[in-house]
Amino acid sequence: MVEKAIPIIYVASDSAGDTGEAVVHAAAVQFYPHLVDVHITSFLEDHEGIDKLIQMAKAQDGIIVFTLVIPELRDYLIQQAILHQLVHIDLLGPILSGLEQKMQQPSRHQPGMIHLLDEGYFKKVEAVEFAVKYDDGRDYNGVLQADIVLVGVSRTSKTPLSMYLAHKKFKVANVPLVPEIQPPEQLFTVSNKKIIGLRIDPDKLNMIRTERLKMLGLPRTATYANVERINVELEYADRIMKRIGCTVIDVSNKAVEETAGLIMEWYRNR
């Protein structure tokens, strides 16, 4: 049986290319476990750059996905892609045209505006710094200042969730729940409406912790991944969450993005 060649996708942008790359990966995951090879061509600014891109894509029978906001460059890329019979996908053009028509005004046609150093950007930076400072219960004062507080046992994605939500401009503190360590009083003095408990299936947690031990070069028999120990931790965490009276989300089979989406929806609807 002949193996399928891995498709090559060239993401072209007159800025950094982050938007196109994110969209391509979001689409490509729908074909898992089949893979795609993504190449980023960023900061395109002239015909010469587009000609080189066309040559590479033609040589590899690749697909060109582009987010060009400068009309002259966009039109030239489309013209050349059609001429060389290349599959090409314009991500921003139809959206910009629709908005221009609806708003009855032309767009700025200015690359890189998504990265402007505006108030939102600085809020994001502040939120990321907050998440780092108050990660894993380093300073319990973060519980008082946070927009969202995450609690749960080790390996329930508290840190990845904190960082993901920080990039959405939420100040997040997270506190590990460990039977041998008294939970901070701050958890019981702040409003439980800003606390989220993270619950996980014991078998799933055992698998995650076993993999973690393997990565660290430690034996699978370590207490960290012991089934009895895991059950003790989870029962303890459940008791603390009930005492707090907080909302609880089961993260057993959820990606970080999915759990974060639920948390943001919960935050908006509080």
Is there a binding annotation on residue 153?
A: yes
Q: What percent of the chain has pLDDT over 90?
A: 84
Tokens of 230: 């895991």
pLDDT at 270: 83
157 is in an annotated binding site: yes
Q: For residue 113, what pLDDT band results from cuts at 50, 70 and 90?
A: confident
DSSP β-ladder status, 195-199 and 172-176: unpaired
Give me the mean pLDDT over the 229-258 stretch.
97
Flag whether pLDDT at 43 surpasses 70: yes
What are the φ and ψ backbone dihedral angles of 245, each rounded to 5 degrees?
80, 30
More confident residue, 4 or 243: 243
The pLDDT score that the predictor gives to residue 5 is 82
Mean per-residue pLDDT over the chain, rounded:
93
Domains contained in the chain, CATH given: 8-115 (3.40.50), 119-269 (3.40.50)
Across the range 190-209, mean pLDDT stands at 97
Percentage of residues of the chain with pLDDT beyond 70: 97
The reply to whether 13 sits in an annotated binding site is no
Q: Using one digit for the tens of pLDDT, what is the confidence trace for 47-87?
A: 999 999 999 999 999 999 999 999 999 999 999 999 999 99
**How many Å apart are CA 171 and CA 73, to the nearest integer?**
40
Structure tokens at 30: 């729908």
Cα torsion 188, 191, 192, 195: sign: negative
Q: What is the pLDDT of residue 94?
A: 94
Interacting residues of 132 by C-beta distance below 8 A, sequence separation 6+? none
Beta-strand relationship, 37-41 and 88-90: unpaired
The mean per-residue pLDDT over the stretch 166-178 comes to 97
Instruction: Please check if 152 is assigned to a binding site.
Output: yes
Please, which pLDDT band fits residue 1 given cuts at 50, 70 and 90?
A: very low
Query: In this predicted model, what pLDDT tens digit does every residue of 116-146 receive, in sequence order?
Result: 667 788 899 999 999 999 999 999 999 999 9
Q: State yes or no: pLDDT of 184 exceeds 90.
A: yes
- 162 has binding-site annotation: no
Task: Confirm or deny that 138 is annotated as ligand binding.
Answer: no
CA 266, CA 225: separation in Å to the nearest integer?
Answer: 31
| Helix (H) or strand (E) segment spanning residue 8 | strand 8-13
Q: What is the mean predicted confidence (pLDDT) over 156-172?
A: 96
